[in-house]
Structure 1
Amino acid sequence: MVDKVINVGHLYPKQMNVYGDMGNIITLKYRLESRGIGFRYFAVDSLKEMKRVNLDIVIGGGGQDSNQDTVQSDIIKNSEILIQECNDGLVGLMICGMYQLLGNKFVTSEGSVIKGAGLLDIDTVAGRERLIGNVVVDSSFGELVGFENHSGKTYLGDHVESLGRVVKGAGNNGEDGTEGVVYKNFFGSYMHGPLLAKNPRLADELIKRSILRKYNNVKLSGLDDALEYAAHKIAKGRPR
């Protein structure tokens, strides 16, 4: 019987899971269970369902624009639930589409404004060209690698920090050198890959924060990350 159990929720797994971001959850499962820490998975199809499950980490991925319409409607109706959870210390990782949807707004190429959850102080505008390619980012959680594929250009407000500085790639907008966002225990990024599989330090940061919040103390045993860093090295060396 395990002493600690971490509950991991997957936001909108049917609609927002088209770029392999489920791999982030698989990575967390592996890194928890390898240390003798229990893992429970919850599919969260509506933010209202967060009231019935006591989540420690919540993960969101990217999706097709047509699917994001349904998701955006639910987010607007129930955004206060997620905002309260974030204020209470819930740990989150939002990739690409979910990253955008949790911001203040998205401005389409026609100039229409799509309201976001308002959890993250970010604004996104539709770009004329897609930003596609391998990314390398310098962050306080180590060097991060991933693959970006987005046309939206995201700009950070005054109440959030970037996840890191772009070494290779476009990042949030291809202009200011930022990639991703950090707000309290929530992280946002455009990096697929999946992100956590190739960046074990960031994966462990999410785990540490969730355990500290739930159990008030944390000491993670080391893991053999030779394969993870081999994948990291290959991804870093790929051309843009």
Structure 2
Amino acid sequence: MKLRIAHMYPDLLDLYSDRGNVIVLQKRAQWRGLDVTVDKITLGEMPELKDYDLIVMGGGMDREQIILAEDLGRRRDQLDDAIQSGTVILGICAGYQMLGHYYQTHTGTRVPGLELIDIITIGDNNRVVGNVVCEMEIEGEKTLLIGYENRSGRTELGPQAEPLARVLRSVAYTQKDNALEGVRQGNIFGTYLHGPLLAKSPDFADYLLRLALRRHDAERLLTPLDNSLEGRTQQKLVRKWVGA
């Protein structure tokens, strides 16, 4: 079976090694014998996006978001068609923010978003920087999301969107805050976690792959991989950042 991945704006949106998320998806699919194609798509290039099973957009600064707003706007209908056809989208940081209604910088400049998910983001003078440990639920099973955030934006979810995960540890929150991280709306996922996120969160990577493959075969299952090394790494990070 063939899997097609679109990596959007890798030359502009690659903050904190976000392209590593594409590499993780590619490798975890190839280790299962899947034929994987990764296409890099940047300014002015207009392939048919519904031909892709997975679309990944990484993070960038305010400057990159402003540069990309017009180019992304021209792709809005294509992206909507892709979503309706079952394409899975992962947005990290700026890639997450631009999927919403708008992003307003800390100076008051409002950058229009794609309005594909029900969120708005407001910039702040104070940055949130540090390692993050979250817990999310995938098809009834709890698993960890681990990454690194460096952001000034504060994202608010509307009624059509749901949080991606519950924060266990972040420099921005304490456990008593019951803080939530990221968004899921249908097959669209957004998060502030870099690092890259999927290298530290293999269960989430495999979930994205399963959803993408269901475009072709609703009953498709992934061959299990040995995640013992990743699991030990996760537990070490949890002990270090969260405690026992």
Which of structure 1's runs of 4+ aligned residues deviate more than 3 A?
Answer: 237-240
Aligned to 2:33: 36
Q: 2:56 aligns with which of 59, 62, 65?
A: 59
The alpha-carbon deviation at position 50 of structure 1 amounts to 3.5
> Which digits, 9 at most, give the CA deviation of each residue in 1:38-61, with x for residues without a partner?
111101114862317710001110
- TM-score, normalised on structure 1? 0.91
Report the Cα distance in structure 2 between the residues aligned to 1:106 and 1:28, rounded to whole angstroms. 28
Secondary structure of 1:82 counterpart = helix
Aligned to 1:153: 154
| Matched AA of 1:145 | I
The count of corresponding residues between Structure 1 and Structure 2 is 234
Q: 1:201 aligns with which of 185, 200, 203?
A: 203
Contact residue 66 and residue 111 of structure 2 kept, 8 A: no
Residues 136, 208 of structure 1: alpha-carbon distance in 2 compared, 3 angstrom cutoff:
same
CA RMSD of aligned residues (A): 1.9
Instruction: State which drifts further: 75-84 or 93-102.
Output: 75-84
Contact residue 134 and residue 235 of structure 1 kept, 8 A: no
Aligned to 2:215: 213
Report the Cα distance in structure 2 between the residues aligned to 1:127 and 1:182, rounded to whole angstroms. 23
Aligned to 1:226: 228
Secondary structure of 1:133 counterpart = strand
Contact residue 106 and residue 125 of structure 1 kept, 8 A: yes
Contact residue 104 and residue 118 of structure 1 kept, 8 A: yes
Q: 2:183 aligns with which of 181, 194, 207?
A: 181
Aligned to 1:168: 169
List gaps (5 residues or longer) in structure 1.
none
List gaps (5 residues or longer) in structure 2.
none
The alpha-carbon deviation at position 176 of structure 1 amounts to 7.0
Residues 29, 74 of structure 1: alpha-carbon distance in 2 compared, 3 angstrom cutoff:
same
Contact residue 139 and residue 164 of structure 1 kept, 8 A: yes
Report the Cα distance in structure 2 between the residues aligned to 1:111 and 1:53, rounded to whole angstroms. 34
> Which digits, 9 at most, give the CA deviation of each residue in 1:204-225, with x for residues without a partner?
1011111111233211111111
* 2:118 counterpart of 1:117: no
Contact residue 47 and residue 79 of structure 1 kept, 8 A: no
Secondary structure of 1:102 counterpart = coil
Instruction: State which drifts further: 222-231 or 44-53.
Output: 44-53
The alpha-carbon deviation at position 114 of structure 1 amounts to 1.7
Aligned to 2:93: 96
| Matched AA of 2:209 | I
